[in-house]
């Protein structure tokens, strides 16, 4: 019989690969390295907004914050006040509840948030357990009762309380490894405070570590999950001193504190080493972080003075390492997200994954991919999974101390009371603003989950023009653009311009998006070029510019813009995707493949990136791999028709009748039908062909202008209402025909010089008979169209050289 699976899950808030790799290379993180060497590693994509309590709850539940209900750092206490986030607001099962239902034993230490603790099968020690403050007072080490509802089962409270380390117990000597020259400090108040902060972080993490190691040794368990917030706190406090010295950083301060962050990583590795020594090699070890932390040139120069402002220092990818029986060794996995941790834990125990989870099990970690079981939802499982040990009561002193901690860390603003202010009124306003802020996080979480209507609805309710907040306004403009409410976006842009709330380049960027939405790419390009000129080092502007150039099929220039964006931000998933698309349209499939892989590695939940990846692989004749990519697209976006077409074509190519049948059926369900399209360079021959078709009694839907200036393919469902036998689609608009139809395309070949002459005459262009610019444009356009048709799965194409050919048998069969 296989040995029972045991898992040690270690959470290091804000751990980042950049520093981990550097310190491993220097031999300073041997414990972490030992796990990496015998397991798989990957980047763990964070969620927006990257706020730890929301992220760790997503990690523990597999769902996004708008579903789990933990929003921000504080929450309403139901009595008109606020308190630090707690377990009260979590609306769904966490893995420890699921495991309890299944009879598995969990130890959960310090998860954020986990107060009050829950009566699970196992032991739970909350994130408030190590709190040494009560109200404004710091309790003395010898008179230090534990925070209410912070230990389950309660009978363990006393013995575990003994393990706590009080900040007063951290001597100067213990701080020395972090600040070796502490003795040189000239004892200015602020310097003293910095040392005290380090002592506090050390004390808190020592407590978490002590409880974790105790439970590993003294309890029976299936999973032990230990969460450390200290690394994040160390980084927020001291990353600005980390080498290389940031511009403007005081040299003396840099010398003193430059080793603190490194010291914090080493300290975490030491704690990890102890835990690894406590477990056997059959225990699976998972180490993960909720986001990374910028440690290089991407460190922000200043932290914005807004709630959760410090989150700007977070990098979008955390770490993920897993090692143990049945898990691959020395390999890298791609596309992992914080949402995937719980589904993956479930598969480790052969337990079903909820279909309603936003995350997916990370099957690439396994040497042999297990068969995953699914259930609709763990929320329908009525078995006992643990319940909160405390009623929803207000413990003012404990709450206010925890709130103060969040204020000290810069995560929430303090209440500002000026002379003459009515305290009750100010307090009410403070609570209102805090709840408003949480609604903003909720809206952001909806947007990150692709629910832009829900985001917009919330933002319009919380936005207040008398107290404009640039973050809220950006969210509204973006959501308005995403939901194609361009007039609304423009209304807000007019407001921010009037009030001068954003920088010009930012307004330009957003206006460009509105222009794109309104099918006005030339205006959009102007706005973006202005933004790039104003702010040449913004990866976001460059990505937008690249996207637009791709729309305009200016592939070379698009590559250039994306290339610059990647120099500035090598992890930008959208820049990788855009670069790949530009390469793909230039038929450089090897490059496209490389960039699409980079993109989905950095951000997995992008159906279109997987689609283009699959298309590239198919065009490179890597059919099996292409198939896998299309299957991912279907999993991520089941209503997208193209992957089904590709899968049908691939099945046909590999003569897999069963699959052909399967995808034929699926296609029939989503396919809107077949359309016959006439296209070609807009010259005399095209006109002849269309005349011939009309004379043969077939009707053609065609606009007046052969160049398609009057042809708006961006209109939603424009093709649905067309009843004619055939549709003329201008060659420049060919790439925009909707994917839910199959097509037979009659492509009229004509010599570019003839077309140029025809257009010169008809359009009375001033260049006379030889119009070099026009010829170049036509050549480009035709090149693009030919590449595009060659890359599509859902069309059959027949080229026609002269109008009379329309009468031949092959053509008649084709169009009938």
Binding site for other proteins (CB under 8 A): 453, 456-457, 460-461, 463, 465, 480, 485, 487-488, 490-492, 494-495
Do the Cβ atoms of 327 and 284 come closer than 8 Å?
yes
Q: How many angstroms from the chain centroid is the CA of residue 665?
A: 33
- The least distance separating other proteins from the CB of residue 211, rounded to whole angstroms, comes to 42
Alpha-carbon gap, residue 163 to 173, rounded angstroms: 20
- The least distance separating other proteins from the CB of residue 265, rounded to whole angstroms, comes to 47
Alpha-carbon gap, residue 85 to 402, rounded angstroms: 10
Alpha-carbon gap, residue 338 to 385, rounded angstroms: 22
User: 495 or 765, CB closer to other proteins?
Assistant: 495
User: 488 or 509, CB closer to other proteins?
Assistant: 488
User: 209 or 485, CB closer to other proteins?
Assistant: 485
User: 387 or 491, CB closer to other proteins?
Assistant: 491
User: 466 or 669, CB closer to other proteins?
Assistant: 466
User: 78 or 330, CB closer to other proteins?
Assistant: 78
User: 158 or 494, CB closer to other proteins?
Assistant: 494
User: 456 or 525, CB closer to other proteins?
Assistant: 456
Q: 769 in helix, strand or coil?
A: coil
Contacts of 621 (CB under 8 A, 6+ apart): none
- The least distance separating other proteins from the CB of residue 740, rounded to whole angstroms, comes to 25
Alpha-carbon gap, residue 344 to 350, rounded angstroms: 10
Sign (positive or negative) of CA dihedral 778, 779, 780, 781: positive
Q: How many angstroms from the chain centroid is the CA of residue 123?
A: 33
User: 488 or 726, CB closer to other proteins?
Assistant: 488
In sequence order, what DSSP letters do the residues of 218-243 get, joined into one string?
HS--SEEEEEE-HHHHHHHHHGGGSS
* Degrees to nearest 5, angle at CA 596 with 356 and 22: 90
Contacts of 523 (CB under 8 A, 6+ apart): 512, 515
Residue position matching structure tokens 């829950």: 118
Contacts of 582 (CB under 8 A, 6+ apart): 546, 549, 550, 555, 556, 558, 559, 562
Whose CA is closest to 279, among 41, 3, 2?
A: 3
- The least distance separating other proteins from the CB of residue 487, rounded to whole angstroms, comes to 5
User: 495 or 623, CB closer to other proteins?
Assistant: 495
User: 373 or 497, CB closer to other proteins?
Assistant: 497
User: 14 or 507, CB closer to other proteins?
Assistant: 507
Tokens of 257: 């504190």
- The least distance separating other proteins from the CB of residue 443, rounded to whole angstroms, comes to 13
Alpha-carbon gap, residue 647 to 666, rounded angstroms: 10
User: 336 or 480, CB closer to other proteins?
Assistant: 480
- The least distance separating other proteins from the CB of residue 478, rounded to whole angstroms, comes to 14
Tokens of 763: 């359009």
- The least distance separating other proteins from the CB of residue 221, rounded to whole angstroms, comes to 44
- The least distance separating other proteins from the CB of residue 460, rounded to whole angstroms, comes to 5
- The least distance separating other proteins from the CB of residue 506, rounded to whole angstroms, comes to 20
Phi, psi of 410 (to 5 degrees): 85, 10
Q: What share of the chain is helix, strand, coil (3-state, %, to 5)?
A: 50, 10, 35
Alpha-carbon gap, residue 56 to 337, rounded angstroms: 12
User: 484 or 664, CB closer to other proteins?
Assistant: 484
Tokens of 161: 């309380």
User: 79 or 776, CB closer to other proteins?
Assistant: 79
Sheet holding 795-800, edge to edge: 700-701, 726-728, 674-680, 742-748, 795-800
CB atoms within 10 A of CB 453: 13
- The least distance separating other proteins from the CB of residue 235, rounded to whole angstroms, comes to 39
- The least distance separating other proteins from the CB of residue 577, rounded to whole angstroms, comes to 30
Alpha-carbon gap, residue 582 to 562, rounded angstroms: 9
- The least distance separating other proteins from the CB of residue 457, rounded to whole angstroms, comes to 5
Q: 7 in helix, strand or coil?
A: strand
- The least distance separating other proteins from the CB of residue 512, rounded to whole angstroms, comes to 19
Do the Cβ atoms of 438 and 461 come closer than 8 Å?
no
Intra-chain end-to-end CA distance of the chain, in Å: 65
- The least distance separating other proteins from the CB of residue 452, rounded to whole angstroms, comes to 12
User: 158 or 461, CB closer to other proteins?
Assistant: 461
Alpha-carbon gap, residue 640 to 793, rounded angstroms: 13
- The least distance separating other proteins from the CB of residue 48, rounded to whole angstroms, comes to 22
- The least distance separating other proteins from the CB of residue 488, rounded to whole angstroms, comes to 4
Q: Long-range contacts of range 716-724, CB-CB < 8 Å, 24 or more positions apart?
A: 719/675, 720/672, 722/675, 724/699, 724/700
Q: What is the dihedral of CA 135, 137, 140, 145, to 10 degrees?
A: -10
- The least distance separating other proteins from the CB of residue 78, rounded to whole angstroms, comes to 13
Tell me, what DSSP letter sits at residue 308? T
Alpha-carbon gap, residue 489 to 511, rounded angstroms: 8
Alpha-carbon gap, residue 149 to 227, rounded angstroms: 18
CB atoms within 10 A of CB 709: 11
User: 470 or 765, CB closer to other proteins?
Assistant: 470
E-state strands within 248-390: 283-288, 292-293, 314-315, 317-323, 331-337, 353-354, 374-375
Residue position matching structure tokens 């598995």: 104
Q: 472 in helix, strand or coil?
A: helix
């Amino acid at each position: 019989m296989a040995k029972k699976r045991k898992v040690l899950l270690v959470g290091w808030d804000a751990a980042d690969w950049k520093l981990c790799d550097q310190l491993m290379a220097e031999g300073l993180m041997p414990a972490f390295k030992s796990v990496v060497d015998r397991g798989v590693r990957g980047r763990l994509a964070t969620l927006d907004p990257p706020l730890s309590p929301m992220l760790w709850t997503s990690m523990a539940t597999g769902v996004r914050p708008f579903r789990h209900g933990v929003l921000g750092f504080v929450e309403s206490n139901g009595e008109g006040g606020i308190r630090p986030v707690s377990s009260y607001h979590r609306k769904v099962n966490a893995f420890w509840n699921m495991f309890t239902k299944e009879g598995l034993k969990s130890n959960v230490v310090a998860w954020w948030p986990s107060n009050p603790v829950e009566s699970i099968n196992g032991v739970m020690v909350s994130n408030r357990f190590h709190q040494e403050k009560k109200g404004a007072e710091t309790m003395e080490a010898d008179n230090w009762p534990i925070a209410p509802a912070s230990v389950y089962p309660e009978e363990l409270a006393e013995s575990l309380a003994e393990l706590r380390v009080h900040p007063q117990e951290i001597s100067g000597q213990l701080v020395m490894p972090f600040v070796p020259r502490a003795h040189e400090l000239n004892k200015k108040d602020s310097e003293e405070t910095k040392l005290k902060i380090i002592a506090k972080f050390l004390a808190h993490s020592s407590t978490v570590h002590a409880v974790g190691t105790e439970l590993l040794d003294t309890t029976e368990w299936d999973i032990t999950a230990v969460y450390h917030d200290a690394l994040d706190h160390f980084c927020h406090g001291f990353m600005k001193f980390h080498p290389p010295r940031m511009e403007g950083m005081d040299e003396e301060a840099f010398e003193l504190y430059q080793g603190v962050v490194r010291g914090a990583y080493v300290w975490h590795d030491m704690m990890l080493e102890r835990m690894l020594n406590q477990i056997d090699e059959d225990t699976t070890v998972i180490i993960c972080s909720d986001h990374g932390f910028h440690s290089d040139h991407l460190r922000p120069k200043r932290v914005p003075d807004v709630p959760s402002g410090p989150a700007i220092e977070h990098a979008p990818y955390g770490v993920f390492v897993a090692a143990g029986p049945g898990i691959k060794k020395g390999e890298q996995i791609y596309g992992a997200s914080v949402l995937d941790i719980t589904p993956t834990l479930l598969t480790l125990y052969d337990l079903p994954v909820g279909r309603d989870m936003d995350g997916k099990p990370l099957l690439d970690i396994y040497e042999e991919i297990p068969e995953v079981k699914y259930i609709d939802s763990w929320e329908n499982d009525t078995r006992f999974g643990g319940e909160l040990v405390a009623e929803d009561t207000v413990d003012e002193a404990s709450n206010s101390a925890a709130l103060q901690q969040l204020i000290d860390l810069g995560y929430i603003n303090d209440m500002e009371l000026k002379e003459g202010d009515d305290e009750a009124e100010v307090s009410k306003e403070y609570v209102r603003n805090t709840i408003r802020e949480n609604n903003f996080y909720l809206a952001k979480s909806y947007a990150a989950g692709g629910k832009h209507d829900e985001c917009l609805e919330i933002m319009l309710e919380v936005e207040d023009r008398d107290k404009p907040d640039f973050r809220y306004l950006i969210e509204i403009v973006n959501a308005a653009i995403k939901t194609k409410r361009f007039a609304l976006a423009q209304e807000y842009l007019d407001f921010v311009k009037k009030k001068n709330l954003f920088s010009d380049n930012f307004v330009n960027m957003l206006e460009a998006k509105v222009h794109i939405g309104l099918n006005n790419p030339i205006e959009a390009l102007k706005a973006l070029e202005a933004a790039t000129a104003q702010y040449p080092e913004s990866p976001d502007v460059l990505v937008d510019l690249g996207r637009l150039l791709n729309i305009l099929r200016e592939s070379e220039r698009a590559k250039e813009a994306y290339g610059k964006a990647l120099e500035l931000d090598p992890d930008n998933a959208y820049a990788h995707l855009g670069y790949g698309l530009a390469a793909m349209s230039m038929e450089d499939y090897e490059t496209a493949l490389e960039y699409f892989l980079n993109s989905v590695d950095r951000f997995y939940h992008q159906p279109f990136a997987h689609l283009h990846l699959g298309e590239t692989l198919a065009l490179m004749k890597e059919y099996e791999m292409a198939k896998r990519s299309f299957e991912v697209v279907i999993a991520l976006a089941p209503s997208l028709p193209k992957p089904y077409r590709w899968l049908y074509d691939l099945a046909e190519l590999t003569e897999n009748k069963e699959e052909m049948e399967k995808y034929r059926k699926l296609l029939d369900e989503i396919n809107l039908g077949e359309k016959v399209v006439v296209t070609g360079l807009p010259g005399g021959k095209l006109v002849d062909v269309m005349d011939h078709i009309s004379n043969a009694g077939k009707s053609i839907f065609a606009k007046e202008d052969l160049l398609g200036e009057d042809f708006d393919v961006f209109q939603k469902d424009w093709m649905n209402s067309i009843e004619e036998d055939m549709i003329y689609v201008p060659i420049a608009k060919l790439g925009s025909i909707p994917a839910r139809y199959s097509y037979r395309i009659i492509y009229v070949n004509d010599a570019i010089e003839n077309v140029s002459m025809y257009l010169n005459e008809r359009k009375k262009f001033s260049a006379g008979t030889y119009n070099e610019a026009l010829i170049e444009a036509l050549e480009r356009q035709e090149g693009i169209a030919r590449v595009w048709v060659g890359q599509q799965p859902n069309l059959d194409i027949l080229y026609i050289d002269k109008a009379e050919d329309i009468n031949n048998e092959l053509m008649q069969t084709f169009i009938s």
